[in-house]
Homo-oligomer: A and B are copies of this chain.
């Protein structure tokens, strides 16, 4: 349906068009959308009818510019390749959309130059809040974040010097807790599979926790480091092979992430290694991939979805001007004992 007074060319609809049809000013249409309680009921009804008739969709870009708030919350993840962060994004999305925000997604890949490009692309959209699943490394990146002047939540860790707010847990403590839990299960010669890449800070922190636990127990360290930069099933399988070769005396092995543990577990089955009799295997994360498929793996459960939900709630609060109770939310972790250790 073409509005009778439509100027030539099928221009996009503006508030003016709605206003004209409803017999009010543009500003009243704006009010009917943003603060409907300030518009008289009949007027509002006319405006809503006009919007419905025209299928009008307000231009939020223009609105963002004028109001100096975008209604966007940015989520920055390193990669989607592993679906590790999917539950966190899901939790964030739910919290954000419930409060009327829309999610802007950025994935940084793994290079530092990309990191800065990404950050500019994201911050240039003037999001009202930012959730990070990865730390940013370059000084400039940190400066840009701070200068953006919006609430920021870092997640999945407890950084020593947070940029702003935090929802996470201590990866060092969690790594230590896993090692101590294995000790508690009766294992005495505990090994650890850890990444070699500096980029996997969290994995290295878990390794650090393992080391502390070993030192506390007065036990020798048995470490296997990955070859490649990414933790895959294959790396896990290779790590098991290395372990049997280099630390044949080990009676249990914790891995810095479930994916590795799953690979190790499958390799152990292939080799006929009795799990957990000859070797206990534990993972980290309790990611969806392992449990449903019957691996029944002992692991450290991290409430990824809650991290996202809590991060979203904190951002929404801060955007509304409130100050969330704790600026650093330790979401903790939980050893889940299943049959692999």
Contacts and interface: CB of A to CB of B under 8 A. Distances in A.
Contact of A103 (B65, B83, B106): B106
B61 A147 contact: no
Interface residues of A, number: 57
Interface stretch (A36-44, A292-300, A331-339): A292-300
Nearest to A91: B80
B61 A259 contact: no
A57 B123 CA distance: 7
A338 to B, nearest CB: 13
A57 B124 CA distance: 6
B292 A294 contact: no
> What copy number does this chain have within its complex?
2
A80 B70 contact: no
Interface string A77-100: 001110100110110010001000
A93 B80 contact: yes
A324 interface: no
B57 A120 contact: yes
Interface in A32-72: 55, 57-65, 70
B289 A292 contact: yes
B93 A86 contact: no
A93 B118 CA distance: 12
A211 interface: no
Nearest to A149: B12
Contact of A293 (B64, B70, B262): B262
A259 B289 CA distance: 11
A80 B91 CA distance: 9
Interface string A113-125: 0000010111111
Closest 9 CB pairs of A and B: A293-B293, A80-B90, A60-B124, A83-B83, A103-B105, A83-B86, A105-B105, A61-B64, A293-B295
Given A58-B124, A61-B61, A80-B89, 9 more contacts: A55-B147, A80-B90, A83-B83, A83-B288, A102-B121, A105-B105, A233-B292, A263-B292, A294-B294
25 contacts: A55-B143, A57-B144, A58-B120, A58-B124, A60-B124, A60-B125, A60-B126, A61-B65, A61-B124, A61-B126, A79-B90, A80-B86, A80-B93, A83-B86, A83-B288, A102-B106, A103-B104, A103-B106, A262-B292, A263-B292, A266-B293, A288-B289, A293-B293, A293-B294, A294-B294
